[in-house]
């Protein structure tokens, strides 16, 4: 632990050219993963849940560059969107507030599981301003209202893209791809036949592919599509990857051009189920199997990704060894919250939602 970002080690000139709020502790561990029913040696894992001591997973990797850009702009408030249980929203609240920003979350309805209800309480405990957008049109209207009111207060708000997936934010995962390449070079794990990641907004897959290609690795990155709300496509993923690569090359001409195509961004929606945030039996089973191996997952993102990985192994479609990129936060953020969890801290509309026991579209 304690190394510089692989991206900055590779091209040191980016340290001055790229605004950044240091958050992550890298490299995150890699190793073999033994799961029931999986042949020995067929499965590897990247423990990205340990990426940051405040909030782990893939979100801090993106937020390093998002918060750096916000500070460069002189913003005092971050405004972002997501589902009622958005991991990105929670990471933005925790890391943004610790960095001195006010944070507003505009939230869209999703199935109200126990984990989603807990997220709402955590948002409030960490000091977020919560706005109920309900559906996509409602969220758009509320987002415009929040940004306008914040500008009138002189806060110079910055809108953070959903998931933190922006050309700059995705650079955190470009660095993660270069980081993995270094771990393979050191012999910490063998070269994977493929990598499986959950895909919501798509920044993780897009960034990883760019990082791996910059490292000279052609390892496929298979995306388990977990959302039906403005879902990414291979064409969109290619565009996002090229934007991040283009940003790097503008800032540091020594960064090479690498060939990319839509085929570099395979997406599999077969584990989505009824929609974003809706648990499936296959995801629940994957979460339980992972727990038996000491790995904590959830059913919205990582459980569905592991379900896809297990299915690919069973069907003989996987190129082994398969690396499971665990993006789930491994930090107990309730224990470190500045206030206890309490429904009384929620706005009235969210208290009514919890009392009703479900979300309304």
Q: In the CATH scheme, what architecture does the domain 6-57+167-326 have?
A: 3-Layer(aba) Sandwich (3.40)
Of 240, 238, 208, give the one whose Cα is nearest residue 323: 208
Q: Do domains 6-57+167-326 and 60-165+336-347 have the same CATH topology?
A: yes
Please report, in tens digits, the pLDDT of each residue of the chain (361 residues total). Answer: 457 999 999 999 999 999 999 999 999 999 999 999 899 999 999 999 989 999 999 999 999 999 999 999 999 999 999 999 999 999 999 999 999 999 999 999 999 999 899 999 999 999 999 999 999 999 999 999 999 999 999 999 999 999 889 999 999 999 999 999 999 999 999 999 999 999 999 999 999 999 999 999 999 999 999 999 989 999 999 999 999 999 999 999 999 999 999 999 999 999 999 999 999 999 999 999 999 999 999 999 999 999 999 999 999 999 999 999 999 998 999 999 999 999 999 999 999 999 987 543 3
* pTM recorded for the entire structure: 0.93
Reply yes or no: is the peptide bond before residue 91 cis, omega within 30 of 0.
Answer: no
The CATH label, of 3.40.50.2300, 3.40.50.300, 3.40.50.1100, 3.30.360.10, for the domain at 60-165+336-347 is: 3.40.50.1100
Q: What's the rounded Cα separation, in Å, for the pair 213 and 257?
A: 10
Of 43, 11, 36, 25, give the one whose Cα is nearest residue 323: 43
Predicted confidence at residue 2, as pLDDT, reads: 53
pLDDT digits (tens, 9 = 90+) for 43-91: 999 999 989 999 999 999 999 999 999 999 999 999 999 999 999 999 9
pLDDT digits (tens, 9 = 90+) for 172-204: 999 999 999 999 999 999 999 999 999 999 999
Q: What's the rounded Cα separation, in Å, for the pair 308 and 317?
A: 11
Predicted confidence at residue 157, as pLDDT, reads: 97
Burial letters 46-76, b for 16+ CB under 10 A, else e: bbbbbbbebbbbbbbbbbbbbbbbbbeeebb
Residues 6+ apart with CB under 8 A from 187: none
- The full set of domain ranges for the chain reads 6-57+167-326, 60-165+336-347
Predicted confidence at residue 1, as pLDDT, reads: 41
3 state SS for the chain: CCECCHHHHHCCCHHHHCCCCCCCCECCCEEECCCCCCCCCCEEEEEHHHCCCCCCCCHHHHHHHHHHHHHHHCCCEEEEEEECCCHHHHHHHHHHHHCCCEEEEEEECCCCCHHHHHHHHHHHHCCCEEEEEECHHHHHHHHHHHHHHHHHCCCCCEEECHHHCCCCCCHHHHHHHHHHHHHHHCCCCCCCCEEEEEECCCHHHHHHHHHHHHCCCCCCEEEEECCCCCCCCHHHHHHHHHHHHHHHHHHCCCCCCCCCCHHHCCEECCCCCCCCCCCCHHHHHHHHHHHHCCCCCCCCCHHHHHHHHHHHHHHCCCCCCEEEEECCCCCCCCCCCCCCCCHHHCCHHHHHHHHHCCCCC
Q: What's the rounded Cα separation, in Å, for the pair 165 and 201?
A: 6
């Amino acid at each position: 632990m304690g190394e510089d970002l692989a991206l900055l080690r590779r091209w040191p000139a980016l340290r001055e050219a790229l605004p950044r709020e240091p958050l992550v502790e890298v490299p995150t561990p890699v190793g073999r993963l033994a799961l029931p029913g999986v042949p020995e040696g067929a499965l590897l894992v990247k423990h990205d849940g340990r990426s940051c001591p405040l909030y782990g997973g893939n979100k801090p990797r993106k937020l390093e560059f998002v918060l750096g850009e916000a500070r460069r702009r002189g913003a005092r408030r971050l405004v972002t969107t997501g589902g009622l249980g958005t991991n990105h929203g929670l990471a933005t609240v925790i890391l943004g507030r610790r960095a001195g920003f006010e944070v507003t979350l505009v939230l869209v309805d999703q199935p109200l599981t126990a984990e989603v209800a807990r997220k709402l309480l955590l948002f409030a405990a960490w000091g977020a301003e919560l706005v109920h957008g309900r559906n996509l049109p409602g969220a758009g209207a509320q987002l415009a209202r929040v940004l306008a009111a914040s500008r009138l207060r002189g806060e110079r708000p910055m809108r953070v893209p959903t998931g933190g997936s922006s050309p700059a934010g995705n650079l955190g995962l470009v660095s993660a791809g270069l980081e993995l390449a270094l771990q393979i070079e050191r012999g910490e794990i063998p070269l994977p036949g493929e990598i499986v990641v959950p895909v919501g907004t798509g920044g993780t897959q897009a960034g990883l592919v760019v990082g791996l290609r910059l490292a000279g690795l052609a390892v496929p990155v298979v995306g388990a599509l977990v959302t039906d709300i403005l879902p990414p496509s291979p064409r969109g993923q290619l565009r996002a990857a090229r934007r991040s690569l283009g940003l790097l090359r503008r800032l540091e001409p020594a960064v090479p051009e690498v060939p990319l195509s839509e085929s570099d961004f395979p997406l599999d929606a077969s584990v989505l189920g009824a929609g974003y945030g809706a648990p499936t039996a296959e995801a629940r089973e994957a979460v339980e199997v992972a727990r038996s191996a000491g790995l904590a997952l959830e059913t919205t993102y990582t459980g569905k990704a592991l379900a896809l990985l297990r299915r690919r192994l069973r069907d003989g479609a996987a190129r082994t060894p398969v690396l499971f990129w665990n993006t789930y936060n491994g930090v107990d953020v309730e224990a470190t919250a500045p206030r206890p969890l309490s429904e009384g801290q929620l706005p009235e509309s969210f208290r009514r939602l919890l009392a009703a026991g479900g979300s309304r579209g």
